Amino acid sequence: MDGHGKKGDHQLSGLTDTMKRAVFDQNHGLDQYQKGEFVLVNVTNATQNALLCEPIERMSIENYFKLFNGNRSREYLK
């Protein structure tokens, strides 16, 4: 997560591991995310410029590679 979205402070924005823009609401659930955190998200929709997402959980880059071993499998989300 690298900052706020264009629509205000309630929206957060960041890049995926494939360098696509991902946007999600800050007020989704009780979690408050901070700039610089890795957030696992579920893509719910897309526009020309961004992926619209719902956050699932905070995740370190080390845990990402342990879980997915570099392979972005959907099995984790089931």
Residue where the block lists tokens 């955190």: 37
Measure the CA–CA gap between 7 and 69, rounded to whole angstroms.
34
Give the pLDDT of residue 58. Answer: 84
- Counting residues of the chain whose pLDDT is more than 70, the rounded percentage is 68
Measure the CA–CA gap between 7 and 34, rounded to whole angstroms.
17
Specify the 3-state DSSP secondary structure of 37.
Answer: coil
Pick from 7, 47, 9, 1: nearest CA to 27 = 9
Sign of CA dihedral 53, 55, 61, 65: negative
User: pLDDT tens across 40-64, in order?
Assistant: 889 999 999 999 999 888 888 788 7
Task: Name the pTM for this structure.
Answer: 0.67
How is residue 57 written in tokens? 């959980």
